[in-house]
Structure 1
Amino acid sequence: MGNISGEEEMRQVLRIRHGDKIQDKFDAASVAVCGLGGLGSNVAVSLARAGVGRLILIDFDKVDVSNLHRQQYKAAQVGMHKTEALAANLQEIAPYIAVETYTERISEDNFYSLLKEADVICEAFDNAQAKAMLVNGVMERMPEKYLVAASGMAGFGSANAIRTRRVTERFYLCGDGVSDVADDIGLISSRVMLCAAHEAHVILRILAGKYEV
């Protein structure tokens, strides 16, 4: 599927599934995924499968064996930077997309330069301070950007408690809003993936112009 005919075939399948108008929007879109753990790696895979044209992947961490139960990495990739490992996996899934990687920690000093080219910014951190820094920074300095964040996905709580809320015109929050990684038994693969699916789906809805109410 890496040759031209394979690429054209894959693109045609997406156009049949989504329609030309929506797929044109996906093809032209640029989405930044900030944090490539259980949320971000799953979000990126969903967006790549949907044919989003450009993904900006940002994380400073390396793949650890403890990540494998809920993150989109392979055992052979333990020790690799998550940016490098995920980019390789995405190229296998959707070789036609553009993947841009930044192996660094997002801070108040660099987030603007890293995110300025994105149409939608996805917050996928597992650290509360990092979440607050990014959400506050984007809302204050980049109010024109769409921002999708997550809060609450730990434990064995009901899948139905995971939901998407439109907080402001351009800010969406996914999760149960209650559970914390420190509570109960921590992060469970299926529930983290549910929250990641909510993030990915609302991003696609934003790109398609189908906004939440």
Structure 2
Amino acid sequence: MKDLSIDDLTMRNIDSSLERFQSARVCIIGLGGLGSNIAVMLARSSVGELFLIDYDKVEASNLNRQYYFVEDIGMYKSQAIKNIIGKINPFVKVHIRNIKIKEDNIEELIKGEKYIVEALDDAESKSMLINKILENFPDKYIISGSGMAGIGDSNSISTKKLMKNLYICGDGFSDYEKYSGMMAPRVNICAAHQANTVLELIFNEK
């Protein structure tokens, strides 16, 4: 089999997208059900550089919705998803940090990032991260996910622009407690909304 080239992997991409996506860098904070799937979608779309942040390790219970495999159990999620991306698109530069986002380290981690995907698990961390960025970095794009638990109407998950650079993807309310769990389809739908929003922002940037 001949050596792969980036052209081989992107021949089905939309016209004039390769240069724009390859020159872009995206930061994803949280590599669970949303973040792991978003990272893979962006890699398949040939986003040139990804900065992946998570402190957790893969557990068996993650496999019902997160983009990991049995052999990844016990591995740091950041390293596992980096390995997976390398098998899908080896032309993507993947940088990882095994660290938990806190109020006192956000600025250091995201100061050089333009596109920030928020994919954290708990509402308190989500709110803290978004508020910190909006207050201190108004020119950064934030693409956040919220509300995708259970089994319900796929079309209830949508993308809304709430502020100048803040986009929220989800069904508009938190329903984890009601359903006591999350399933792959709705999580993936929300992840796809976030990934698509990132691509749209990059592609349409002047």
Whole-angstrom CA distance in 1 between matches of 2:35 and 2:7: 27
Whole-angstrom CA distance in 2 between matches of 1:148 and 1:32: 10
* Corresponding residue pairs, total: 206
Q: Could you tell me which of 24, 35, 40 is aligned with 1:40?
A: 35
Whole-angstrom CA distance in 2 between matches of 1:31 and 1:42: 14
Does residue 142 in structure 1 map to residue 137 in structure 2?
yes
Asked whether the 8 Å contact 1:31–1:55 carries over to 2, the reply is yes
Distance 1:9 1:23, change over 3 A: closer
Three-state SS of the structure 2 residue aligned to 1:92 is: helix
- Note the residue ranges of structure 1 that are not aligned, 5 or more in a row: none
In the TM superposition, residue 16 of structure 1 has moved relative to its aligned partner by: 5.3
Three-state SS of the structure 2 residue aligned to 1:17 is: coil
Asked whether the 8 Å contact 2:6–2:91 carries over to 1, the reply is no
Instruction: Give the equivalent residue in structure 2 for 1:66.
Output: 61
Whole-angstrom CA distance in 2 between matches of 1:8 and 1:174: 30
In the TM superposition, residue 63 of structure 1 has moved relative to its aligned partner by: 0.1
Residue identity opposite 1:198 in structure 2: H
Whole-angstrom CA distance in 2 between matches of 1:127 and 1:182: 12
In the TM superposition, residue 112 of structure 1 has moved relative to its aligned partner by: 1.6
Instruction: Give the equivalent residue in structure 1 for 2:113.
Output: 118
Superposition map of 1:12-31 within 5 A: 13-14=9-10, 17-20=13-16, 22-31=17-26
Superposition map of 1:1-213 within 5 A: 5-10=3-8, 13-14=9-10, 17-20=13-16, 22-209=17-204
Whole-angstrom CA distance in 2 between matches of 1:8 and 1:173: 31
In the TM superposition, residue 60 of structure 1 has moved relative to its aligned partner by: 0.3
Residue identity opposite 2:105 in structure 1: N
Percent identity for Structure 1 against Structure 2: 40
In the TM superposition, residue 189 of structure 1 has moved relative to its aligned partner by: 0.8
Asked whether the 8 Å contact 1:52–1:97 carries over to 2, the reply is yes
In the TM superposition, residue 15 of structure 1 has moved relative to its aligned partner by: 5.5
Whole-angstrom CA distance in 1 between matches of 2:203 and 2:141: 13
Whole-angstrom CA distance in 2 between matches of 1:18 and 1:186: 36
Asked whether the 8 Å contact 1:30–1:53 carries over to 2, the reply is yes
Residue identity opposite 2:143 in structure 1: V
Three-state SS of the structure 1 residue aligned to 2:90 is: coil
Cα-to-partner distance string for 1:124-176 (whole Å, 9 max, x where unaligned): 01111110011001111111101000110001110010000011121100000
Three-state SS of the structure 2 residue aligned to 1:26 is: helix
After the TM superposition, list the runs of 4 or more consecutive aligned residues in structure 1 that deviate by more than 6 angstroms: none
Asked whether the 8 Å contact 1:15–1:23 carries over to 2, the reply is no
- Note the residue ranges of structure 2 that are not aligned, 5 or more in a row: none
In the TM superposition, residue 185 of structure 1 has moved relative to its aligned partner by: 3.5
Whole-angstrom CA distance in 2 between matches of 1:184 and 1:155: 5
Asked whether the 8 Å contact 1:29–1:119 carries over to 2, the reply is no
Residue identity opposite 1:83 in structure 2: S
Residue identity opposite 1:205 in structure 2: E
Whole-angstrom CA distance in 2 between matches of 1:193 and 1:114: 26
Asked whether the 8 Å contact 1:155–1:179 carries over to 2, the reply is no
Residue identity opposite 2:7 in structure 1: E
Cα-to-partner distance string for 1:9-53 (whole Å, 9 max, x where unaligned): 33xx52652223x32111111100000000000000000000001
